[in-house]
Structure 1
């Protein structure tokens, strides 16, 4: 697992405070695809439990896995009773028990590509569902976005996580749907977008940036400078595009 992947724990409280949660529409979409309610779920890279809460509060028995101890401790403070927690990276989750749903919320790109889908298939019941969802939090106003880009430029060219398989942004099917379509283990791959527009204060927007791995791996002095520069170019409140791209696939019943 990369240094960027393990950079979040030091900011667990900020991650919980500033990162947006997930809407009920996401739960409804996953369950509509499943065709019948999934009773058990395994979550990969659960963070502070933003997605855990969405599923657990609607009757799904969730096992939440997360490699970072600080993130897992924060998760335990917020999730309902009955959520099982395991400190483990995806690669260290022991196969054996299978789940009706396995999902990753803005976390799959931190997993190792080698053997990813065979390991995933070993965790999903035949006919069960795999779901991956997430997306960048972006400034809606192009002029404000340009100003922020210029402010961070001396320290950081980009704060985005590139597509793990190099799929260009405008392609009809985005990663991980591209990999799922090539996988022998999964079928019926679907991609959709839940549109979401948020308003937040400039300070909360910078707080959200403070949880982004590209900033977290900067030296502390540079991180302070870049956040100060960004604050100076932001209006008091900002409009945010936080669309959620959802990928769904079904575990093949037989190989």
Structure 2
């Protein structure tokens, strides 16, 4: 697992404070696709449990896996007591039990691509469902976005994570749907968009940046300078586009 993937633990409180949760319509989309009651789920890279709460409060017995103990400790403060927690990277999750749903909330890109889909399939019941969802947290005003880009330029060219398989952003099907379509383990691959528009204070926006891996791996002094420069160009409140791209797939029953 990369240094960026393991950079979140020190910021577990900030991650909980500044990252938005997930809307009920996301659960409804996954449940509708599944076409049967979602009783059990394994979550990959649960973080502080933003998505865990959504599925658990809708009656799903969630097993939340997360390699970082600080993140898991924060998660345990916020999720129902019946949520099972396992400190493990996805690659270290013990096989044996199978689930109706395996899902990842803005975490799948941290997993090892080698054997990724055979491992997911091995954790699913026959006909079980995989879901991945997430998306960039972008400033809605192009002028503000340009000012922030210029402010961070001495430290970072971009703070977004590029497509893991190099799929251009203009392509209709995005990663991981592209990999799922090529996989022998899955069928009925779908991609959907849930639009989210937020307005937050400038300090909360900088707080959100403090949870982004591209900044977390900067030297501490450079990170502080970058945040100071960004804060100076922000208006008091900023509009945010935080759309979720959802990928769904079904385990191939013949495998």
For this structure pair, what is the TM-score category when the shorter chain's length is used for normalisation? over 0.9
Q: How do residues 55-204 of structure 1 correspond to structure 2 at under 5 angstroms? A: 55-204=55-204
| Residue in 1 that maps onto 2:43 | 43
Deviation at 1:57, TM superposition (A): 0.5
| Residue in 2 that maps onto 1:18 | 18
| Residue in 2 that maps onto 1:234 | 234
For residues 139 and 80 of structure 2, what CA distance do their matches in structure 1 show?
32
Deviations 1:21-53 (A, max 9, x none): 000000000000000121000000000000000
- Alignment of 1:223 with 2:223, yes or no, is yes
For residues 79 and 6 of structure 1, what CA distance do their matches in structure 2 show?
22
For residues 117 and 58 of structure 2, what CA distance do their matches in structure 1 show?
27
Deviations 1:93-139 (A, max 9, x none): 01110000000000000000000000110001110100000001000
For residues 142 and 231 of structure 1, what CA distance do their matches in structure 2 show?
16
SS at match of 2:78: coil
For residues 155 and 250 of structure 1, what CA distance do their matches in structure 2 show?
41
State the number of aligned residues.
255
The unaligned stretches of length 5 or more in structure 1 are none
SS at match of 2:58: coil
What is the TM-score when the length of structure 1 is the normalising length? 1.00
- What is the aligned-residue RMSD (CA, Å)? 0.4
| Residue in 2 that maps onto 1:53 | 53
For residues 70 and 37 of structure 1, what CA distance do their matches in structure 2 show?
32
Deviation at 1:206, TM superposition (A): 0.3
Deviation at 1:215, TM superposition (A): 0.1
For residues 121 and 128 of structure 2, what CA distance do their matches in structure 1 show?
9
Deviation at 1:81, TM superposition (A): 1.3
Deviation at 1:144, TM superposition (A): 0.2
For residues 40 and 32 of structure 2, what CA distance do their matches in structure 1 show?
16
Deviation at 1:254, TM superposition (A): 1.1
What is the TM-score when the length of structure 2 is the normalising length? 1.00
| Residue in 2 that maps onto 1:207 | 207
**Deviating 4+ runs (over 3 angstroms):** none
SS at match of 1:51: helix
